[in-house]
Amino acid sequence: MSIRIKIGRFFFVLGKNKVKYDPIAELIMFLLMPFVCFWTMGFPDGLGLVELLSGFAFPALFVVIGYYLLDDNDERPKRLKWAMIRYGIYFAVLLVFYTVLCFVVPIARAEINPGSFLAKRLWFNFIVLDVWPLPIGDSLWFIQSLFISTVIFYFADKFNLMRFYKIVLAVFFVFMLLTSDLAGVVGFNILGYRYLTSGVFTKAIPYLLLGLLLNESYSLIKKVPFWAYIILFIVGGALTVGEFYLLFITGRLVYTGHMFGYAVMAVAVCGLMVSFDRMHFDLILNMCGTIAKAIYALYSPMYTLLFLFILMKSAKNLDVYFQFSGIIVYFACLIIGIIVAFFQTMWELKYACN
């Protein structure tokens, strides 16, 4: 058997043992990707409201993943094991991919200071706070924190510690708020950090566990009508804008990565997902998860590569690019994601037949 066939069968088996998301969950992840791009690269609405409100996307992604990944049943240990392997491979591939890009792309290589790699704070930021130190790939924190969280939950489940998850959820959720949007209110300042960015302890764990809590509240969530979740989503957006305004006018605004309204909007997204959980979708919608992963992996380097391309063609178009970069990058990654999803589906079908 050739190495190519062995590699193909390995990834096919890996795919068969992945977390079994409902098609609506795959669709939700796909629909959240534009907001991931808008939150990172902005949106040309003139006020910055769309960029601010788009911050709910990552919390919602964690909640949706946690809803299925941490479902309390006999298959959870196996599900966590395979998720840990998949996320670990995904993290390793992106780590190498972003690192190579940073040293290949001239404009990124020029920003790298080799001496900074000896700094202890840089490694502390990367290992503990999930802060990527290189110019391209600042989105790596998401899959890094997801992988580390999965490892933690795997061993917690193995030693029967998941029964305490509600206590952990409450503690980490309060910790997340006090070290982020409320950091200016409580005067947070430890080791020179005025706030903590998104990472395994400040976003992944609390929102993944929130997904588990919503999973256990399935019967209650199903009783709530669909339109109520739409209203809840709007209320969450209003809370986000209100909290931002109050913190801004009082001079307490230091970070907007974990606004309380984001949690409300994420719960609303999960509620909408559950409301549609009896819907059926064809192969195209089942490919949405693959497209979403491709967009996530590519949007950060795509931003830099498109910048270089436009710079070589005509520097006067850069102002337009910066204004519409979130939209441009999203659609560029979407096209590539569709191509990747198509070939992945053909590949999996081929080895399934074998």
Instruction: Measure Cα distances from 200 to 9, 58, 282 in Å.
Output: 32, 12, 34
Amino acid residing at 50: V
pLDDT of residue 17: 47
Whether the predicted pLDDT of 146 surpasses 80? yes
CB 200 within 8 A of CB 149: yes
Most confidently predicted of 7-11, 218-222, 256-260, 277-281: 218-222
**Count of CA atoms in the C-beta half-sphere (13 A) of 222:** 8
178: exposed, middle or buried (Cβ count in 10 Å: 0-12, 13-18, 19+): middle
Rounded Cα gap, residues 29 and 311, in angstroms: 32
Q: How is 57-104 classified by DSSP, letter by letter?
A: HHHHHHHHHHHHHT--STTHHHHHHHHHHHHHHHHHHHHHHHHHHHHH
What single-letter DSSP state applies at residue 203?
Answer: I
Stated pTM of the model: 0.88
Name the pLDDT band for 145 (thresholds 50, 70, 90). Answer: very high
Least confident of 146-155, 223-232, 306-315: 306-315
What single-letter DSSP state applies at residue 201?
Answer: I
- Read off the tokens for 175: 């910790």
Name the pLDDT band for 175 (thresholds 50, 70, 90). Answer: very high
Whether the predicted pLDDT of 322 surpasses 80? no
Mean pLDDT of the chain: 84
pLDDT of residue 205: 95
pLDDT of residue 230: 92
Asked whether the CA dihedral 155, 161, 165, 167 is positive or negative, the reply is negative
CB 33 within 8 A of CB 330: yes
Whether the predicted pLDDT of 13 surpasses 50? no
Whether the predicted pLDDT of 189 surpasses 50? yes
Query: Measuring CA to CA, which residue among 28, 24, 55, 25 is closest to residue 326?
Result: 55
pLDDT in tens, 30-44: 889 999 998 888 888
213 Cβ partners below 8 Å, 6+ apart? 165, 166, 169
Least confident of 110-119, 160-169, 311-320: 311-320
- Read off the tokens for 50: 């769309």
CB 215 within 8 A of CB 70: yes
Residue 113 or residue 157, greater confidence: 157
Place of tokens 């074998």: 354
Amino acid residing at 140: L
pLDDT of residue 143: 93
SS3 state at 286: helix
Residue 333 or residue 276, greater confidence: 333
